[in-house]
Amino acid sequence: MKYIALIAHDGKKDELVEFVMRFHKFFSQVPTLATQTTGSKLAEKGISVETVASGPRGGDAQIASRITEGQVAGVIFFRDPMGKHPHEPDINMLLRLCDVYNIPLATNPATAELIARNIT
């Protein structure tokens, strides 16, 4: 079964954790992959998640690699559109690869809900 990747900028991590808890049934049935800091916040809530490096340390690129390997079914990335991020090139690469490989990408709760309700 393919992963659902979970990523959140610092100002959006709590919102992502709340979202995952709201859709706990879905996330308990699919393997999840997250960047390190996001994954540790999810693990604190008892959510089973495989982690890669934090975003600034290459985690976004690691998830992008999993996309190219066909291991990811969808990406939920709660982004902070108003913030500047030193690893912006990695973020843009991840978003571009979602388009290249036709991977559903949610960058806010409304579209994330569509993924949680429709990917099986």
The residues annotated with a catalytic role in the active site are: 60
DSSP lists the bridge partners of residue 32 as: 4
The tokens for 48 are 């089973």
d(CA 45, CA 22): 12
- Residue 54: DSSP 8-state: -
d(CA 85, CA 3): 25
d(CA 68, CA 117): 24
